[in-house]
């Protein structure tokens, strides 16, 4: 199943501001994290079963540098300095896909800036797990 988690919707937490000044985002805004090492966009996501889940991270980066983030699941770093290339404009949104290990049930996912440039602007994370809907034939 695939579920979308908006960066601006609790229990998600943004170390910065929820902004709406760059169009094209989903939901009611996006996370503009502080331009600092460790500034984070955090999500609480659900997985039907333990195993690998695919995270599709929608972001915009109108600068010219490449930004990078450590990706933590349940507090453990599962990817170091994962890169987010420039999208050309703050109103141009792209999706970066990563595969991460998850537990069955609730998990925290944290995107934590690994340089002083901070994160790109984060719109949402879509999580695809390997679980089948309850009661469906397999």
Q: What residues from 92 to 121 belong to the interface with ligand GCU (CB under 6 A)?
A: 118, 121
Binding residue for ligand GCU, selected from 38, 63, 101, 131, defined by CB under 6 A? 63
Q: Give the single-character DSSP code of 86.
A: -
Tell me the backbone φ, ψ of residue 38, rounded to 5 degrees: 90, -10
Instruction: Let me know if 120 is exposed, middle or buried by CB neighbors in 10 A (0-12, 13-18, 19+).
Output: buried
Return the closest-CA partner of residue 19 out of 4, 8, 9, 34: 8
Subset of 26-55 contacting ligand GCU (CB under 6 A):
32, 35
Q: Closest residue (Cβ) to Ca ion?
A: 32
Q: 3-32 mask for Ca ion (x: CB under 5 A)? A: -----------------------------x
63 binds, among ligand GCU, Ca ion, none (CB under 5 to 8 A by kind): ligand GCU
Going from the C-alpha of 49 to that of each of 12, 32, 92, 130, 133, the distances in angstroms are 21, 31, 34, 7, 11
List residues binding ligand GCU (CB under 6 A): 19, 22, 32, 35, 63, 90, 118, 121
């Amino acid at each position: 199943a695939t579920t979308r988690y908006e960066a601006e919707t609790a229990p998600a937490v943004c170390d910065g501001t929820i902004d709406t000044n760059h169009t094209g985002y989903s939901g009611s805004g996006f996370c503009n994290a502080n331009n600092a090492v460790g500034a984070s966009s955090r999500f609480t996501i659900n997985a039907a079963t333990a195993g690998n889940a695919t995270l599709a991270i929608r972001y915009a980066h109108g600068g010219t540098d490449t930004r990078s983030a450590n990706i933590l699941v349940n507090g453990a770093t599962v990817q170091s300095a994962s890169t987010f290339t420039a999208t050309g404009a703050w109103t141009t949104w792209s999706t970066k896909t990563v595969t991460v290990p998850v537990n069955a049930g609730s998990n925290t996912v944290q995107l934590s800036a690994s340089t002083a440039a901070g994160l790109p602007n984060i719109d949402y994370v879509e999580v695809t797990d390997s679980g089948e809907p309850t009661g469906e034939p397999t």
